[in-house]
Amino acid sequence: MKLDSDFEAKATEAFLPDDEQAEALGNQMVDIAEKKWRAYMSVNDYDLEHIVQDVRGPMVEQNGNSVSIRVEWPFSAMFEFGVDPHVIEAKDASVLAFPWPEMEGEEFGDTGKNFEEVFADTWPVVFLPKVNWGSRTGGIPKARAVRDMLLELRGELQS
């Protein structure tokens, strides 16, 4: 059997989405991921509107026998993949300074004072040489919004 000389071009045209189809698929990626981000925010009581508002794309690129659809969610990786509790230490200063109103009423070590008494002049800003970030919350749970969106679309594309 001999293939037509334009077989490859016809196959590419038949299998690859055109710009409009690729753009629609990219928009579907954005919509599905946004629903997953919003569910994650709701379950964890997070305000991450910047992730869904700052989405970049979809960006479609046709290159010969391939089509790429790229969507970016800036500053989302630590939520997408989660963060385990870890120690943060001051490096270029003697202490870290940050607001920690959640510690109101909590005892500060074995001083017999609570946080707002120890840091009365700056409360709720505290000053510590290091902090075991996430030790009370277990860190940041994995959102999996982007990865789960890709898994969902993979199922659609394979059917």
For the stretch 84-118, pLDDT in tens is: 999 999 999 999 999 999 999 999 999 999 999 99
Nearest Cα to 52, choosing from 80, 24, 25? 80
**Per-residue pLDDT tens over the stretch 2-59:** 766 666 655 555 567 788 888 999 999 999 999 999 999 999 999 999 999 999 999 9
Q: Tokens for 131, please give them.
A: 């902090």
> Does 27 share its domain with 99?
no
- The average pLDDT across 133-147 equals 93
In terms of domains, do 75 and 92 share one?
Answer: no
Same domain, 77 and 11: yes
Model confidence at 136, pLDDT cuts 50, 70, 90, reads confident
The residue length of the chain stands at 159
Rounded CA separation 153/27 (Å): 12
Write down the pLDDT at residue 15. Answer: 63
- Cα–Cα dist 76/55, whole Å: 10
Domain that includes residue 144, residue range = 7-82+140-158
Question: Tokens at residue 137, please?
Answer: 């919350």
37 with 72, same domain: the answer is yes
Whether residue 143 contacts residue 36, with contact meaning beta carbons closer than 8 Å, is answered with: yes
